[in-house]
Chain A
């Protein structure tokens, strides 16, 4: 290396030197990304906040400032009921998902249940599928008149009436509960598996029996995981749009999300009232997530010592077959029955609730998938193309942002890192529909409205933290000295990123990319607020078909989405391995 590059050729002023020192590759890129992320997260939430205080006059032409939107939360005819319904649904789903998630995690991690290693991936599948599609499938399984299960029961036992009915608030709890059970499962199974067996053994040696040990040692140790999972389920259920939209709203049980939706796009659209409702929902969920992140998640580390343990495995004796049957039953109701039902319904030209083997046809698939056909349904065919564009593009952009942000949080100790850390948690606290409402009121008068870009902006803002966590977990595990030694070897920041950091992070980047791909492919609650004709997504296509067409067409597109998701899930498992999701 020559000396000229090292010695300034002329004296520079202090200021000039400082400016030169500040404009490094690292500083420029990280500054740009921070500003983008800060703008993407803060602006819509700020505009949402401001909008919630604008009151539409009765004629709908002008606005004044005031708290009227918030008074309506109490005085309106429907909104207070929607509030209560949301509370009931979220509480019920949380209880159901926690019972299912904890029991299944325990069976898989700590008992000798047969073939448990093969069961685990199937237990997790509902986590990746669309709950909206689950609701559609369960509607066709357990609708009082045409429900497949009800028909079978009537045929076999010759009884009148309907055994099951999911078209109500309990149906919403049922579907949401089984679809979100894997969330609790993921939060609990890790600490059950990695728990130091000597903690339980030492309780047993003091004379405590199995039940007592479980109650006094095992459960308290996994309690932070259970609570974390329960809070996440509560928040996710409160923000879930598809399931109540399909199962309860048409029958008189509105929720906050279905109400926000009707204020965003319906005939009585009122973005300002919608903003106020979004603020209320958002503040509740953000508070809960804050409690989880601040007080509960940190405590869960106490159960994990980091050593590789073989956890105690409990011999259930003959009861292991009961555990096995219980687990199979879960997979049946959460995965197999819905998919079978979608396939059956999608193959019928008209669905009357009875199998008609002579009538089976692929016409529904052709009309929803073959965009070149004359009779193709645009909303459905657009949906597939748009969703693939959004999933590929969105996941890629989000992972680039996630990479830079993770790098800043874990490697740069400069100014603004704490803010960035905070900004990458905030979106997790807001339901998609709330953030989408903010994006809508912010960008409705800009050119990006009515394009795919606004959807992509919403997707990335809401979900980049998921990708960021995938990268961060690996970045925490690899030593900073690996980067530093590259700098010392003479490589610039960017060369180090390209040749050292990114190759080492590859598994995390891939896993995060596929996870976002999956999430974007099934996304509904952001899309439903931000789509317009021409920018429908897969889930919006399903929404369109179930609202304006018939169940067989709906089932066909739902099935197409499910197949795409299953392929992506398989890829995710191949790339990420079994522990990748355990938070």
Chain B
């Protein structure tokens, strides 16, 4: 119908804008995802990720842009189009699980099929199959309120996928579970999504959840997209200080780019409290020679060495905490404290003078 739909994406969000009062909760973002993939919207609270999800769900109107899935336009204020949520054929898992307390588990799961006027015998079959998939067969006839948090989460997922919707939306579904269960459910959710193969969008503020589950991650902040990429790319090649800081842990220092060369490499100079050093590194996209940048090094890519000639920076180890598989060290250099991860068999002790070496392949200059 429209030219935009010829692009390959199954779900397409174009120039989405949503105002809350005088706040631009979502500020002109666009993205598209292929059929069957798992996309995570990641960011702190208030970054617009949930608003984006609710816009796709149709649980509120939008102020600008266009959302399309397959050949159906969900909403497009410019064309005056708004498809009500119940027409969108979406399965959704809510933060509070939203399992109806006045129904049994089976009744909860059967509900979307009853709404679609499917025959009773087929409903029973499909409910049984999906309850088996999520491992709640034995709980089919208990009241939803008698379930534990993790079980409610499974029931909620079963209800979302039972009608084989065109899209599956997750709104921080694991945030109310305790840590152990959360780690278990991550894997479970991913397994079930793989099995049913429904295109999914997952909203979370938990970076490890995003890294574990997603095919692709969109990092958001203040209503805008900061970076989009696969988990490995987002972690190892953050494009700016915000993403470096939000995903994982990084040593971040203000730097100036001295020179850039072919293949995205170059040299930066870091000046801090009168001390300075130069280091070769990877130069992120959009950074020119002579501009300001931020040096970003993950703690596991900082190596404490004994040989002063190999080190770029020398400082004093202020503490070293043994954490089983690794040792978490802090090295004081001027006013800055380096986070360094060392091997338990060979690590600096508190009070040691330490030389730090940076691997140019894992040292990044990113946008401030």
Selected from A6, A18, A481, A487, the residue in CB contact (under 8 A) with B85 is A487
Q: Are B98 and A481 in contact (CB under 8 A)?
A: yes
Q: Which residues of B contact A488 (CB under 8 A)?
A: 57, 59, 85-86, 88, 90-92, 160, 169
Q: Are A489 and B72 in contact (CB under 8 A)?
A: no
Interface residues as binary, B346-358 with A (CB distance below 8 Å gives 1, 0 otherwise): 0000000000000
Q: Which of A9-17, A109-117, A320-328, A355-363 interfaces with chain B?
A: A9-17
Q: Are B163 and A490 in contact (CB under 8 A)?
A: yes
Interface residue? B48 (CB, 8 A): no
Chain A: which residue is nearest B74 at the CB level?
A: A6
Interface residue? B333 (CB, 8 A): no
Q: Which residues of A contact B95 (CB under 8 A)?
A: 481
Residues from 437 to 457 in A contacting B, C-beta threshold 8 Å? none
Q: Are B80 and A16 in contact (CB under 8 A)?
A: yes
Chain A: which residue is nearest B160 at the CB level?
A: A488
The docked-state distance in angstroms from the alpha carbon of A15 to that of B90 is 27
Chain B: which residue is nearest A24 at the CB level?
A: B84
Q: Are A485 and B92 in contact (CB under 8 A)?
A: yes
| Chain A nearest Cβ from B289, distance in angstroms | 50
Chain A: which residue is nearest B112 at the CB level?
A: A489
Q: Which residues of A contact B87 (CB under 8 A)?
A: 5-6, 490
Q: Are A1 and B89 in contact (CB under 8 A)?
A: yes
The docked-state distance in angstroms from the alpha carbon of A500 to that of B114 is 14
Contacts A3-B72, A504-B101; A484 near B59 (Cβ below 8 A): yes
Selected from B81, B86, B92, B98, the residue in CB contact (under 8 A) with A491 is B86
Q: Are A479 and B98 in contact (CB under 8 A)?
A: yes
Interface residue? B102 (CB, 8 A): yes
Residues from 477 to 532 in A contacting B, C-beta threshold 8 Å? 479, 481-482, 484-493, 495, 499-500, 503-504
Q: Which residues of A contact B160 (CB under 8 A)?
A: 488
Selected from B60, B70, B81, the residue in CB contact (under 8 A) with A17 is B81
Residues from 30 to 79 in B contacting A, C-beta threshold 8 Å? 57-60, 70-72, 78-79
Q: Are A487 and B96 in contact (CB under 8 A)?
A: no
| Chain A nearest Cβ from B81, distance in angstroms | 5
Chain B: which residue is nearest A25 at the CB level?
A: B84
Q: Are B100 and A500 in contact (CB under 8 A)?
A: yes
Among A7, A481, A485, A493, chain B packs the most CB atoms within 10 A around the CB of A485
The docked-state distance in angstroms from the alpha carbon of A1 to that of B57 is 17
Residues from 165 to 214 in B contacting A, C-beta threshold 8 Å? 169
Chain B: which residue is nearest A495 at the CB level?
A: B115
Q: Which residues of B contact A15 (CB under 8 A)?
A: 80
Contacts A6-B83, A17-B80, A24-B84; A491 near B111 (Cβ below 8 A): yes
We find that the number of chain B residues with CB closer than 8 angstroms to chain A is: 39
The docked-state distance in angstroms from the alpha carbon of A485 to that of B108 is 10
Interface residues as binary, A453-472 with B (CB distance below 8 Å gives 1, 0 otherwise): 00000000000000000000
Q: Which residues of B contact A486 (CB under 8 A)?
A: 100, 111
Contacts A6-B72, A488-B85; A1 near B116 (Cβ below 8 A): yes
Among A413, A484, A488, A499, chain B packs the most CB atoms within 10 A around the CB of A488
Residues from 1 to 57 in A contacting B, C-beta threshold 8 Å? 1, 3, 5-7, 13-18, 21, 24
| Chain B nearest Cβ from A297, distance in angstroms | 25
Q: Which residues of B contact A492 (CB under 8 A)?
A: 84, 86
Selected from B58, B78, B116, B159, the residue in CB contact (under 8 A) with A485 is B159
Q: Are A489 and B115 in contact (CB under 8 A)?
A: yes
The docked-state distance in angstroms from the alpha carbon of A3 to that of B69 is 11
The docked-state distance in angstroms from the alpha carbon of A488 to that of B111 is 11
Contacts A14-B80, A489-B111; A484 near B86 (Cβ below 8 A): no
Interface residue? B94 (CB, 8 A): yes
Chain A: which residue is nearest B60 at the CB level?
A: A413
Among B84, B86, B159, B163, chain A packs the most CB atoms within 10 A around the CB of B86
The docked-state distance in angstroms from the alpha carbon of A153 to that of B59 is 72
Contacts A413-B60, A490-B89; A17 near B79 (Cβ below 8 A): yes
Contacts A7-B71, A490-B112, A495-B115; A481 near B96 (Cβ below 8 A): yes
| Chain A nearest Cβ from B208, distance in angstroms | 25
Selected from A7, A479, A484, the residue in CB contact (under 8 A) with B72 is A7
Q: Are B159 and A489 in contact (CB under 8 A)?
A: yes
| Chain A nearest Cβ from B123, distance in angstroms | 13
Q: Are B59 and A487 in contact (CB under 8 A)?
A: yes
Q: Which residues of A contact B115 (CB under 8 A)?
A: 489-491, 495
Q: Are A18 and B86 in contact (CB under 8 A)?
A: no
Q: Which residues of A contact B81 (CB under 8 A)?
A: 17, 21
Residues from 129 to 182 in B contacting A, C-beta threshold 8 Å? 156, 159-160, 163, 169
Interface residue? B235 (CB, 8 A): no
Interface residue? B246 (CB, 8 A): no
| Chain A nearest Cβ from B157, distance in angstroms | 12
| Chain B nearest Cβ from A64, distance in angstroms | 49
The docked-state distance in angstroms from the alpha carbon of A479 to that of B100 is 10
| Chain B nearest Cβ from A527, distance in angstroms | 38
Q: Which residues of B contact A21 (CB under 8 A)?
A: 80-82
Contacts A487-B59, A487-B86, A491-B115; A482 near B80 (Cβ below 8 A): no
Q: Which residues of A contact B72 (CB under 8 A)?
A: 3, 6-7
Contacts A3-B71, A16-B80; A482 near B100 (Cβ below 8 A): yes
The docked-state distance in angstroms from the alpha carbon of A466 to that of B130 is 44
Q: Which residues of B contact A482 (CB under 8 A)?
A: 98, 100
| Chain A nearest Cβ from B281, distance in angstroms | 46
Among A16, A490, A504, chain B packs the most CB atoms within 10 A around the CB of A490
* Top 7 closest pairs, chain A to chain B, by CB: A17-B80, A489-B112, A18-B80, A481-B98, A6-B72, A485-B98, A488-B92
Chain A residues close to B by CB (< 8 Å):
1, 3, 5-7, 13-18, 21, 24, 413, 479, 481-482, 484-493, 495, 499-500, 503-504
Contacts A479-B96, A486-B100 known; 11 new A-B pairs at CB < 8 A: A3-B72, A6-B89, A17-B80, A21-B80, A484-B94, A484-B98, A485-B98, A490-B115, A491-B86, A492-B86, A495-B115
Could you list some 8 contacts between A and B, CB below 8 A? Answer: A15-B80, A16-B80, A17-B80, A21-B82, A485-B98, A489-B91, A490-B116, A495-B115
